[in-house]
Amino acid sequence: MNLNVILLGALLAASPVIAAPGGKPATDMSGGHGHAAMMRDMGKANSWTLYPTLKARMSGENRETMKTAIVPQNIVVANIDAWSNNLKDENGYRLLSMDMGGAMLDKPANGGFHWLAAREEQGETVRVASIVQAFGGNGGKDPTGMFMRQKHELEIIPLPFPREHSRYRANEDWKFLVRFNGQPLAGQKVQLETSNGSMAEFVSDAEGMVKVHVPDDFAAEEEQPAAGGHNHGARRAADLVLATEYADGGKTYLTAFNSSYGPNAFDKRSMAMGLGFTLLGMLGAVPLLRKRKNEQKAGEADNA
């Protein structure tokens, strides 16, 4: 079945049916009630892709008051599944309820990584959207163990995921594991789309690993002063999504993993910053060189 047909069919379905993982009874969201209408609105359209995605939206004046809303796009769900990378935490898995602003994810006291997923079932089609949300703090340990826990039938797992204070960047290669029911899928096609307009296809190897090249598709940056005439040098970013489809047992599974990425580390701005730090280092060394030269002259005078 064509992947685009599945995506369009899911988005245009008149009466969405919501089903949670684990074989829980589906909930009929048709009927015209206020709650049903609210839930249909949760499947907001994403302008740059038809694949199901999750968007993390931050609010709050500082880190202490910051709140994170997880908003599903191109997928209609009643809840968001959340897994913490603290495998020993009895609340390591939570079911986040949707409201008009999305599903609210509270920041753990000690930070850490969360895997968030939305699942939609309509007829014989299962669609899953996944994202990783990282919080700063002492809990930001290696999340690989949590990533490897099976959460859905078809999965795209980042191995590794950019650690704290890092992110995907243009012109870099990153590896992902593609698996079905916990088993690696060899020769599986994986599609890449970015909000900057790039598209690419990759194929997994015998171990189910796929090496994804993040495209360098940022337009040349122009100096555009912000309000008040000042350019505050905000970090540029774009979004990417990886998606794959697999059929088994009369059902078609589609899973998508999305994240953000930044410009090439060696773009014009980064190189300028590097040169700036180099010049600062050179300027800082000048007094030391002068002091050493003066000491050498004084020593020569004493020996004369």
Return averaged pLDDT per consecutive 10 residues of the chain, 304 residues in all.
54 40 35 42 77 91 77 97 82 89 79 91 97 75 89 96 82 97 98 98 98 94 49 74 98 98 76 57 63 66 59
Beta strands, E only, 32-107: 53-59, 67-73, 79-84, 93-99, 102-105
The pLDDT of residue 115 is 95
Domain spans of the chain, in order of start: 3-265
The pLDDT of residue 260 is 95
pTM metric for this prediction: 0.74
Tokens at 96, concatenated: 């986040």
Is-cis flag, bond preceding 160, omega within 30? Answer: yes
d(CA 154, CA 60): 35
d(CA 103, CA 70): 5
d(CA 35, CA 40): 9
d(CA 44, CA 98): 13
The pLDDT of residue 159 is 94
The answer to whether the beta carbons of residues 194 and 212 sit under 8 Å apart is no
The answer to whether the beta carbons of residues 106 and 112 sit under 8 Å apart is no
d(CA 296, CA 244): 69
Give the 3-state DSSP-derived string for 121-188, with helices as H, strands as E and coil as C: EECCEEEEEEEEEEECCCCCCCCHHHHHCCCCCEEEEECCCCCCCCCEECCCEEEEEEEECCEECCCC
The pLDDT of residue 266 is 78
Tokens at 149, concatenated: 């826990």
Beta bridge partners of 240: 194, 259
d(CA 256, CA 158): 12
Per-position b or e across 252-273, b if 16+ CB within 10 A of its CB? bbbbbbbbbbbbbeebeeeeee
